[in-house]
Amino acid sequence: MEQEAYAGPLSGRHLVLGLSGGIACYKAAEFCRALVKAGASVQVVMTPSACQFITPVTLQALSGRTVFTDAWDAREGNSMAHINLSRQADAIVVAPASADFMARLLHGRADDLLSLMCLARPLGRVPLLLAPAMNREMYAHPATQRNLEQLRADGARVLGVGAGDQACGETGDGRMLEPQELLEEVVAFFTPKVLAGQRVVVTAGPTYEAIDPVRGITNLSSGKMGFALAQAAWRAGAQVTLVAGPVSLPTPRGVQRVDVQSAQAMWQATEPLAAQASVFIAAAAVADWRPAQVAGQKIKKTADGQAPALEFVQNTDILASIARSDRARSGQLYCVGFAAESQDLLNQAREKRVRKGVPLLVGNLGPQTFGRDDNALIVVDAAGSEELPRASKAALATRLIERIALELKKAAS
């Protein structure tokens, strides 16, 4: 399969990135770069206070566009930058949004280009996203909390804040979200909520079957596909729980994570979660067998060089067991399986779909995808199969979530 071109989750979007005064302006530089890498075109607008923390030159280099700082900028022939820039935008994202800036915004103040533009934007067409950033006491102050509540009521999307060390030396709530978290919030904002109201459980990664305290049996699954599916499902509006084997991947934003080691532990964690879910996606590479006995201490080499004799017992087939449940058979739970094969992918995937008893099965060639950021898939259902050309796992996850949402819609009609 050939590599499929993928422009990014914000491809075709034009965003105005506003910076108000605050030390978190240093994060805005990385956030701007992340937006551009995600496919967006970015026009930066800075308040005079923001220019005290970071230079317009930095943001110009990262956005590829001249930065606006003055409402009277002569580059706009009609001297109406606040009108022109807001009309061109798909959204205005203010990051950082200081306590002072939000207070002025609340009262309709328009004494700099950024606040003027926010006030002049078409309310029904250009959404406003605010990323608060301030000292913990400022954030907790009743006046700030009242302002945040009213801004939400006025239609602004107020993003959350982080907790931790602050530039002032104190610790607590009020930090601006990290650039990657902000990017996730923006991407999710623009993602159609095709799974709104759905509860999704995803398994991901390998399992580890202990032989003794220092050795075990595992596989090369990185968990990246499953994590991408959990991320895509959250973006699409679902409540998502991710049951993850032993991997070193960050938890996708908005996703509840349960870490496990062995196949039996994954089964014990997944079964009760699936009993409350509407979609189950089994993307984990679960070990089929485990050692019948686990040695209490490290198994030592013997003088004769004889390898220890290991006996194995079969693990619970998580996907097949859940697919046979009453909720799955009655259509209350939609099950999706994965098949990591080494040859004859299409036939193996078709056979596995029938054997597992699932409506949809996704196949890939394990040796060609383990550990990589891209993949090529075959999607098999009762009607036939579809090839998804090689693309990023994030892009493929988005397509699979859209497919699952379509199947749910068909089933409900």
Point out the residues that are catalytic. Answer: 168
Could you tell me the end-to-end alpha-carbon distance of the chain, in angstroms, rounded to an integer? 34
The C-alpha atoms of residue 4 and residue 376 are separated, in whole angstroms, by 9
